[in-house]
Amino acid sequence: MKIKLIGIICVVLAAFVISCQSDEQVEFNRYFSAGSAVYQANCQNCHGAKGEGLQGLIPSLTDSVYLKSNKYQLACFVKNGLKGQIKISGKQFEGEMPPNDLSPVEIAQVLTYVTNSFGNKSATITIDQANADLAKCN
Amino acid sequence: MKKLVYAIAFILLWNACKLNSSDNKALPIFGNKEAVTKTVNGKQVTDTLYQTIPAFKFVNQYGDTITDKSLDGKIYVADFFFTTCPNICPVMHRNMLPVYNEFKSHADFRIISHTIDPKYDTVPVLKKYADKMGISGNTWWLLHGQKNDTYTIAKSYLVSLQEKNPQGQYVHDGYFILIDKQKRIRGTYQGTDAKEVEKMTADIKTLMAEPDQKSTK
């Protein structure tokens, strides 16, 4: 009896976990594929189809450590642009990235795409997360 | 009788196709053509005069004066850009880099990139851009000049440039123009399209092999 009950609880728990995961996966896929389109339209010209950047002029998007340590500023970088010195993959860059007129959901999508492409791996950056980050822009 | 006509038609067609596909490898010559009749040794000779790039004078990223004479005996590719261009220029020059690397050891090959924003793109700015792009030596010149001169020369490359639009951006098309040693236009390629630029690289090799383009050493 006891064993049966434990068995049922385990099955229910497992079902929960699986369905949760797939919900998350669906959400991730949705953000990722929409983000890919946003990237192509707004970022790819400069940063390249493989996020490779351009020589010493435009930084690559392949520095996972930089992306991770600036996770909560990325939304502001995209929205307001970025100016001045920046060190990416051990290389010093200067210059300017222009501001982008993207909606918070587009920012969330493109950040999900970038932080999960070009060798980067991270979680979904949701619209709630993007909005929270954008509220703290300088 | 009918069969004979068919046979002749077939042979003619086949020959016509064969002629086209034979290794008759020469690039077309673009631009306006003009027939000129002149008298040579008392004989009337008609010659085709092709459109050529007129004389010009600009300054490169090293501060050296570059004129049409600097490109005598060179095959070259020309384009128009500006260093702060947010849209097509990074793509154009990303695509131009392999061309630079492929031909930088050829003494008779050049790339010239005219800035269309001479106010911002001064000689030191162009030098910095070159350094960051990782280009050195004299294969790839970034040219600074009076705005009028640049806009005038663009027309002879069949490239269209426009003044700044209300958003403060320049509108220009991203063509790479291939010029031969006689300063004639031999190809135009969409510089933002990596496939077209690959074709340009192939065409440059074809052009270099043409008898009147051979290296003069």
Residue boundaries of the structural domains of chain B: 53-212
Query: Binning pLDDT at 50, 70 and 90, where does residue B217 land?
Result: very low
- Nearest neighbour of B94 by CB, restricted to A48, A56, A96: A48
Q: Of all residues in chain B, what percent carry a pLDDT higher than 70?
A: 84
Task: List the beta bridge partners of residue B58.
Answer: B66
pLDDT greater at residue B23 or residue A35? A35
User: Which tokens go with A98?
Assistant: 């222009």
- The 10s digit of each residue's pLDDT in B113-132 is 999 999 999 999 999 999 99
> What is the rounded CA–CA span in Å between residue B97 and residue B94?
6
Instruction: Give buried/exposed letters for B65-89 (b at 16+ CB in 10 A, else e).
Output: ebeeebbeebbbbbbbbbbbbeebb
Could you tell me which residues of chain A have a Cβ less than 8 Å from any Cβ in chain B?
Answer: 45-46, 48, 54-58, 96, 98
> What is the rounded CA–CA span in Å between residue A122 and residue A94?
26
- Nearest neighbour of A54 by CB, restricted to B88, B94, B131: B94
Please count the structural domains in chain A: 1
- Position A40 in a domain: no
Query: Binning pLDDT at 50, 70 and 90, where does residue B23 land?
Result: low
Q: How many whole angstroms from its chain centre is CA B13? A: 35
B74 touches chain A (CB under 8 A): no
Mean pLDDT (chain A) is 90
- Position A70 in a domain: yes
Q: Is A94 helix (H, G, I), strand (E, B) or coil?
A: coil
- The answer on pLDDT for A72 being more than 80 is yes
Highest mean pLDDT: which range of A20-34, A88-102, B9-23, B55-69: B55-69
- The 10s digit of each residue's pLDDT in B128-161 is 999 999 999 999 999 999 989 998 898 888 877 6
- The 10s digit of each residue's pLDDT in B161-176 is 666 665 555 666 789 9
pLDDT of residue B12: 62
pLDDT greater at residue A103 or residue B48? A103
Q: Both ends of chain A: CA-CA distance in Å? A: 61
Q: Of all residues in chain B, what percent carry a pLDDT higher than 90?
A: 55
Contact A54 B87 (CB under 8 A): no
3-state secondary structure A104-124: HHHHHHHHHHHCCCCCCCCCC
> What is the rounded CA–CA span in Å between residue B112 and residue B138?
10
- The answer on pLDDT for A3 being more than 60 is yes
pLDDT of residue B172: 67
CB B83 within 8 A of CB B47: no
> What is the rounded CA–CA span in Å between residue A81 and residue A64?
19
Mutation target among B94, B96, B140 for the A interface, most CBs of A within 10 A: B94
- Nearest neighbour of B87 by CB, restricted to A45, A48, A56: A45
Mean pLDDT (chain B) is 86
pLDDT of residue A65: 94
> What's the whole-number mean pLDDT along residues B53-81?
95
- Position A89 in a domain: yes
- Position A12 in a domain: no
User: Which chain B residues have a beta carbon less than 8 Å from that of A83?
Assistant: none
CB A130 within 8 A of CB A105: yes
> What is the rounded CA–CA span in Å between residue A47 and residue B177?
25
The size of chain B, in residues, is 217
- Position A26 in a domain: no
Q: Is A91 helix (H, G, I), strand (E, B) or coil?
A: strand
User: Which tokens go with B108?
Assistant: 């008779």
- Complete DSSP assignment for chain B: -HHHHHHHHHHHHHHHHHHHHSS-------S-EEEEEEEETTEEEEEEEEPBPPP-EEE-TTS-EEEGGGGTT-EEEEEEE-TT--SSHHHHHHHHHHHHHHHTT-TTEEEEEEES-TTT--HHHHHHHHHHHT--TTSEEEEB--HHHHHHHHHHTT--EE---TTS--EE--EEEEE-TTSBEEEEEETT-HHHHHHHHHHHHHHHHSGGGS---
- The answer on pLDDT for B178 being more than 80 is yes
B127 touches chain A (CB under 8 A): no
Give the count of Cβ contacts less than 8 A between chain A and B: 27
Contact A58 B90 (CB under 8 A): yes
Class of the domain covering B53-212: alpha beta
B87 touches chain A (CB under 8 A): yes
Contact B132 A55 (CB under 8 A): yes
Give the minimum alpha-carbon distance from A97 to chain B in angstroms, rounded to a whole number: 8
- Domain extent, residue A134, equals 46-138
Contact A54 B129 (CB under 8 A): no
Query: Binning pLDDT at 50, 70 and 90, where does residue B26 land?
Result: confident
CB A125 within 8 A of CB A116: no
User: Which tokens go with B49?
Assistant: 């005069």
Contact A45 B86 (CB under 8 A): yes
User: Which chain B residues have a beta carbon less than 8 Å from that of A54?
Assistant: 90, 93-94, 133
User: Which chain A residues have a beta carbon less than 8 Å from that of B87?
Assistant: 45
Contact B88 A48 (CB under 8 A): no
Q: Where are the alpha helices (DSSP H) in chain A?
A: 2-42, 44-47, 64-69, 74-80, 104-114, 127-135
CB B113 within 8 A of CB B141: yes
pLDDT greater at residue A34 or residue A94? A34
B29 touches chain A (CB under 8 A): no
pLDDT of residue B216: 56
The CATH number for A97's domain is 1.10.760.10
Q: Which amino acid is at B196?
A: E
> What is the rounded CA–CA span in Å between residue B30 and residue B16?
24
Contact B90 A98 (CB under 8 A): no
User: Which chain B residues have a beta carbon less than 8 Å from that of A96?
Assistant: 84
The size of chain A, in residues, is 138
